[in-house]
């Protein structure tokens, strides 16, 4: 338990403590806000490896509208299908996009999915599939990106702020 009288009497010591705290959070704040960026017509990086249980964050770093849509025939059998917009199949996602651009997300918006089943996942962006906007997620125990090395949240809850 801390005593107010004690804190009030050691202002100099308190300052030292707060500086040490800043250094600590600065070290933790060097991670990026997302794993995979999206340029005008590409996922960057297009190939990304994560350990099982990792939540991958995509961020639209361009001015174009994109989707993240799995090829349901090119993901592990036991894996959950994933697509921005929450569709349950590749066909439903294509339909949704054609009818009202559903599933698309615009500049600076993010989409995330947690990968639990090891294997190879192929996905694409519906409006830019023809120009080669496809990507691969490899879920393997050997990946350096793990649930223990989380990216910063993009909703402002991260305490440290890095320079751009």
Binding site for Cu ion (CB under 5 A): 66, 125, 128, 133
Would you say 62 or 158 has its CB closer to Cu ion?
62
Of 55, 87, 81, nearest to 151 by C-alpha is 55
Q: How far is the CB of 122 from Cu ion (least distance, A)?
A: 15
Would you say 113 or 128 has its CB closer to Cu ion?
128
Q: How far is the CB of 128 from Cu ion (least distance, A)?
A: 3
Give the angle subtended at the CA of 67 by the CAs of 33 and 43, to the nearest 5°.
Answer: 55
Would you say 51 or 67 has its CB closer to Cu ion?
67
Q: How far is the CB of 60 from Cu ion (least distance, A)?
A: 9
Would you say 38 or 50 has its CB closer to Cu ion?
38
Decide if 110 contacts 57 (C-beta within 8 A).
yes
Question: What are residue 8's phi and psi, to 5 degrees?
Answer: -65, -30
Distances in Å between the Cα of 128 and the Cα atoms of 37, 104, 106, 122 are 15, 11, 14, 15
Q: How far is the CB of 43 from Cu ion (least distance, A)?
A: 9
């Amino acid at each position: 338990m801390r005593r107010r009288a004690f804190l009030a009497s050691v202002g100099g010591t308190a300052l030292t403590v707060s500086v040490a705290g800043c250094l600590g959070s600065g070290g933790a704040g060097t991670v990026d806000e997302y794993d995979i960026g999206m340029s005008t017509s590409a996922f960057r990086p297009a190939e990304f490896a994560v350990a099982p249980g990792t939540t991958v964050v995509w961020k639209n770093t361009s001015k174009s509208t994109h989707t993240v849509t799995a090829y349901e025939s090119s993901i592990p059998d036991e894996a959950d299908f994933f697509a921005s917009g929450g569709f349950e199949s590749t066909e439903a996602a294509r339909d949704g996009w054609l009818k009202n651009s559903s599933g698309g997300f615009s500049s600076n918006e993010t989409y995330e999915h947690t990968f639990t089943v090891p294997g190879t996942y192929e996905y694409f962006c519906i409006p830019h599939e023809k120009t080669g906007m496809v990507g691969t997620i490899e879920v393997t125990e050997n990946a350096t990106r793990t649930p223990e090395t989380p990216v910063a949240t993009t909703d402002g809850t991260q305490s440290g702020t890095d320079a751009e």
